Amino acid sequence: MTLRFIGTTSEDGNCPTLYEVVETGDIVVQGDQLTNPEDLAQLRNVGPHETSVVIPRDLLTRFAPKE
Dihedral sign of CA atoms 11, 2, 43, 37 in order: negative
- What is the pLDDT, as a whole number, of residue 63? 80
pLDDT per position as a tens digit, 47-63: 999 999 998 888 888 88
Give the model confidence (pLDDT) of 9-34 as tens digits.
Answer: 887 767 789 999 999 999 899 999 99
Q: What is the DSSP letter of 23?
A: T
Residue 13 to residues 17, 20, 40, 47, Cα–Cα distance (Å): 9, 18, 27, 30
pTM metric for this prediction: 0.77
Contact yes or no for 29/53 (Cβ under 8 A): yes
